[in-house]
Amino acid sequence: MNRNIKIVGILGLAGYILLASVHGYCADTVTYRLKWLFNASVAGDLYADARGVFARHGLQVSVKEGSPEHDAIKELELGYAQFGAASADQIIRAVSMESPIVVIAQLFQKNPLQWVYRSAKLTIQSPVDFKGKTIGVTYGGNDETILRALMAKFGLARDSVNLYSVRYDYTPFYEGKVDLWPVYINAQGVIIRQKLATAGEKTAFFSPEAFGIRFVANSVITSRKLLKENPDMVNRFRQALIEGWQEAMAPENTEKTITVLRQFDKDTPEATAREQLTETRPLVQPGSPKDVGQINVTAWKQTEDIMLNQKLISGPVHVTRILKGNLKTD
């Protein structure tokens, strides 16, 4: 009797291992390199992974954290990743250098990049109010490009504002040495707002988008080769990612999303993560769930124009030719 139980147990285990390996073999295994560290800005990506949305579409995805040193575009070309997230300026710069990539989804419908300031000390009604202020910029970063575009649009001379080179440390802003500090409103923006609120100070955010600067942020890319050779897998990945984001952004799934976020990002306090998620929703899904992942052609064209005007690319790249997802214009 005991012997029979052992045999059945061993056979069961062997069957399970076999099934598991066959399942693993059948699922397409890909690597997805994010643009930044695990936080609310990648909530949908993490949700698709942790809640089995990728698996539902027959994909086994290794979602890897990003950083300034990890450039998804380079990893695609070198074959270290099959999908990646990159900002539009990175993508346009890469395409201008003949990088064979395509955009399959746009994660942020609104650029999260804004400038935080103390609302009790400053009144910023329009960019004209920047005159004489000290504004933080990351030299070489897309915030510098956006600020320069804004200044050009509103006829502000370069010497009419004082630019301050920013890093990850917000001390110069806390100390009041800098009037406006660039942040992702759904990430550092929440942290700074909470910190200053604790000190009894009120904050406000300046959004370049409100003044006509449409500069696309994070988008999902893959290689032209993969799209050509395996369009089915690319479509399944895009679909899974969009579903992941839609589910993660649904208010009824808030607890599930927070659990996933906390699973990957243990350093951010839960209250902060909740606030970050609330700020992320209107950026990814400004209207209905159908908005998720849509590629805004108008905004992409404007992004290219801004980069051309600032001579960040040597010539037009005709960006529409690399946009391969659910396109929209406005």
Q: How far is the CB of 116 from other proteins (least distance, A)?
A: 19
Q: How far is the CB of 79 from other proteins (least distance, A)?
A: 8
Q: At what angle do helices 231-249 and 270-284 cross, to 10 degrees?
A: 120
| Secondary structure letter of residue 95 according to DSSP | H
Nearer to other proteins by Cβ, of 98 and 252: the residue is 98
Nearer to other proteins by Cβ, of 140 and 287: the residue is 140
Nearest to 106 by CA among 213, 227, 216, 31: 216
Which sign does the torsion angle of CA 139, 140, 145, 148 carry?
positive
Nearer to other proteins by Cβ, of 174 and 211: the residue is 174
Distance from C-alpha of 51 to C-alpha of 248, rounded to nearest angstrom: 10
Backbone angles phi, psi at 217, to 5 degrees: -100, -135
Q: How far is the CB of 210 from other proteins (least distance, A)?
A: 25
Cα torsion at 233, 236, 242, 248 (round to 10°)?
Answer: -110
Q: Which two tokens stand for residue 145?
A: 């490009």
Quick check: helix, strand or coil at residue 127? helix
| Secondary structure letter of residue 323 according to DSSP | B
Nearer to other proteins by Cβ, of 94 and 180: the residue is 94
Q: How far is the CB of 322 from other proteins (least distance, A)?
A: 13
Q: How far is the CB of 323 from other proteins (least distance, A)?
A: 18
CA distances from 312 to 1, 248, 307, 308 (A): 77, 35, 5, 6
**Binding site residues, other proteins, CB under 8 A:** 68-69, 71, 73-74, 77-78, 90, 93-94, 97-100, 138-141, 165, 167-169, 171
Nearest to 142 by CA among 117, 112, 118, 116: 112
Nearer to other proteins by Cβ, of 151 and 313: the residue is 313
Q: How far is the CB of 293 from other proteins (least distance, A)?
A: 24
Q: How far is the CB of 261 from other proteins (least distance, A)?
A: 25
Half-sphere exposure of 313 (CA within 13 A, CB side): 22
Q: How far is the CB of 303 from other proteins (least distance, A)?
A: 16
Nearer to other proteins by Cβ, of 50 and 147: the residue is 147
Distance from C-alpha of 57 to C-alpha of 34, rounded to nearest angstrom: 20
Distance from C-alpha of 290 to C-alpha of 7, rounded to nearest angstrom: 53
* Residue 322: Cβ within 10 Å count: 20
Cβ neighbourhood burial of 200 (10 Å; 0-12, 13-18, 19+):
exposed
Q: How far is the CB of 233 from other proteins (least distance, A)?
A: 22
Nearer to other proteins by Cβ, of 225 and 328: the residue is 225
Distance from C-alpha of 146 to C-alpha of 160, rounded to nearest angstrom: 16
Nearer to other proteins by Cβ, of 138 and 239: the residue is 138
Nearer to other proteins by Cβ, of 68 and 200: the residue is 68
